[in-house]
Amino acid sequence: MNILAFAFKLRVNTKQIAEKYHPDVVISSSTYNFDVYSAVKIAHFANAKLVYEVRDLWPLTPIELGGYSKYNPLIMLMQHAENTAYKKADFVISVLPCVHDYMKSHGLDLKKLSIIPNGIYESDWDSPPPYRPRHLLQPYLNF
CA of residue 129 relative to chain centroid, distance = 34
When the pLDDT of each residue in the chain is averaged and rounded to a whole number, the result is 90
CATH of 7-117, one of 3.40.47.10, 3.40.50.2000, 3.40.50.620, 3.40.50.1000: 3.40.50.2000
Cα-atom radius of gyration of the chain, to the nearest Å?
20
Convert the pLDDT of each residue in 75-123 to its tens digit.
999 999 999 999 999 999 999 999 999 999 999 999 999 999 888 888 8
Interaxial angle between packed helices 14-21 and 36-46, expressed in degrees from 0 to 180 and rounded to the nearest 10 = 50
Q: How confident is the model at residue 30 (pLDDT cuts 50, 70, 90)?
A: confident
Look at residue 2 in the predicted model and tell me its pLDDT: 84
State the virtual CA torsion across 108, 51, 40, 33 in degrees, nearest 10. Answer: 70
Report how far apart, in Å, the C-alpha atoms of 109 and of each of 38, 58, 87, 113 are. 21, 18, 8, 8
Which sequence spans correspond to the domains of the chain?
A: 7-117
Residue, of 130 and 74, whose pLDDT is higher? 74
Convert the pLDDT of each residue in 48-64 to its tens digit.
999 999 999 989 999 99
Distance CA 72, CA 75 (A): 5
Convert the pLDDT of each residue in 123-136 to its tens digit.
887 887 777 766 66
